Amino acid sequence: METAHQFGEETESPKHVAVIMDGNGRWARSRGLPRIAGHKAGAEAVRRTIKACRELGVSHLTLFAFSSENWKRPADEVDDLMGLLRFYIRKEVDELNRQGVSIRFIGADDGLPDDILKLIRDTERTTLDNRNLILTVALNYGSRDELARAARSIAKEVADGTMAPGDVDEAAIARRLDTVGMPDPDLIIRTSGEQRLSNFLLWQAAYSELVFSKVMWPDFDQEALKSAIDEYQRRERRYGAVTA
Ligand code: FPP
């Protein structure tokens, strides 16, 4: 367990904040705009949130950008979202690299257009050694899919005889998840008033504090992040133990 969260101490700032960015569509509809306008405004909120994390001492930010279930949206909206991601990554990577932000992606490759796969691999490579903020973008990500992929990889090793069934423990599973090497999220924020995890970081969220913000994602800013962090700091994290 990390020393920053020893029992009885005042809760420190979260090191790893993960966000389910929800409400782009409703934000747009309430303004009589097409849904893509909400996603574009959502990309601005991403920019603000990265800056706010750096200012508030958060070292890891993970954003749920596109879920494995989002393919069920109308083809136009899926195309718009892929186009926006393409545009955003191309446009922002140099500036984020200058700011010392390392950009990583979690999720499945299957189904993503080849040029996006190449873009994300190039981006990861370019920003690999940066340490001011680790930004992880969950793209074509679903937690159950991630766990199934980890289970398949273990099953293959057991079948090959390179792993004994008795060696399948929590650490063996964690090592095969997309988030290998990352700390678990301390705080998970979902915007727009919805209160569920929607297949996001189910394994990693075992001890995360969940904060549900009423703010629609395109309106999310430093003040909204600060308010979620304040709520997190008022909570007492016990990791299954009791306090004295
Ligand atoms: C949820 O709102 C949002 C998404 C599915 C997409 C999030 C993507 C962005 C903010 C684009 C930019 C992202 C990055 C990382 C550059 P919704 O459409 O489900 O909203 P609704 O529930 O109001 O319909």
Residue-wise pLDDT for 195-230, tens only, equals 999 999 999 999 999 999 999 999 999 999 999 999
Q: What is the pLDDT of residue 8?
A: 45
Distance 39 CA to ligand 1 centre (A): 5
Give pLDDT < 50 ranges for the chain.
1-8
Distance 20 CA to ligand 1 centre (A): 9
- Ligand 1 — pocket residues by CB below 6 A? 21-26, 39, 42-43, 46, 63, 65, 70, 84-85, 88, 137, 192
Distance 24 CA to ligand 1 centre (A): 5
Atom of ligand 1 nearest to the CA of 63: 15
* CA 209 – CA 228 distance, rounded (Å): 10
Q: Give the residue numbers marked as catalytic.
A: 22, 70
Nearest CA to ligand 1 atom 24: 25
pLDDT tens for residues 101-127? 999 999 999 999 999 999 999 999 999
The correct answer on CATH 3.40.50.720 for the domain covering 16-142+185-233 is: no
Distance 49 CA to ligand 1 centre (A): 14
Among residues 103, 140, 139, the alpha carbon closest in space to that of 123 is found at: 103
Domain boundaries along the sequence of the chain: 16-142+185-233
Angle between helices 75-98 and 35-55 (to 10 degrees): 30
Q: Give me the half-sphere count of Cα atoms (radius 13 Å) on the Cβ side of residue 78.
A: 14
pTM exceeds cut of 0.85 = yes
Atom of ligand 1 nearest to the CA of 45: 10
- Write the CA distances from 90 to 48, 94, 95, 195, 235, integer angstroms: 17, 8, 10, 32, 39
Q: What is the pLDDT of residue 244?
A: 60
